[in-house]
Copies of this chain bind each other. A is one copy, B any other.
Amino acid sequence: MKPSVITIEPNGHFCSDCAVRASAVCSSLDPAELREFEHLGRRVHFSSGETVFSEEDITTSFYNVLEGVMRLYKLLPDGRRQIVGFALPGDFLGMNLSGRHNFSADAIGAVTVCQFAKAPFGRFIEDRPQLLRRINELAIRELGQARDHMVLLGRRSADEKLAAFLLGWRERLLALKAPSDTVPLPMSRQDIADYLGLTIETVSRTFTKLERHGAIEIIHGGISLLDPARVEALAAA
């Protein structure tokens, strides 16, 4: 939310040894293309709570998340907030039709992104259909996630919402880190509430309830999944 103090790394970064090389949009590029692509992106750091872009801002850049977690959200005029997703390394942000962002994005903890100016990136895509195809794949994947989330928001109880969230979040982290029954939760309870369409109090009570039932243990900065099967049963599919 503070004005963002941007650090632009001068040089010394190569796509070829980028952490998200294999999973991000750039996975569609061959080594030669990658060297050209390298000149388009700049690594930019954001610290905890900084806003990377805001809803309704004119889109000047696209972003590839390299490190950290971001919250993506929309606000109603009266301040109610709905988090529409959390972005993790490999996620590509900024695509839209209107020329304006249709949600806001903040860093949760320290974040590094690879930032591309819109125009040169657009030109680069122009004659690289396989990059376009990759972007399309990511969009379709997100659309699937969005639909799953609609089911959660519209048809699940508070218990089911939290259980499904914990499992889904663990699942996403699995693609990035070694599997573990310890699930780090870098976002606040309020973030979780705004993601699940609940209040912070309900989220807190539901955590406590899951813990009392022996399904999880609340630890510092996350939870420990004591009884994954039980949490899965609670998530009801």
Contacts and interface: CB of A to CB of B under 8 A. Distances in A.
Interface of A: 74, 76-78, 80-82, 84, 95-97, 102-103, 129, 132-133, 135-137, 139-144, 146-151, 153-156, 194, 196-197, 236-237
Interface of A is mostly: helix
B197 A103 contact: no
Nearest to A198: B154
Contact of A150 (B80, B135, B141, B146): B146
Given A74-B147, A74-B151, 7 more contacts: A74-B150, A76-B156, A84-B150, A97-B140, A97-B144, A129-B132, A149-B150
A140 B155 CA distance: 25
B197 A147 contact: no
A102 B151 contact: no
Contact of A77 (B74, B139, B236): B236
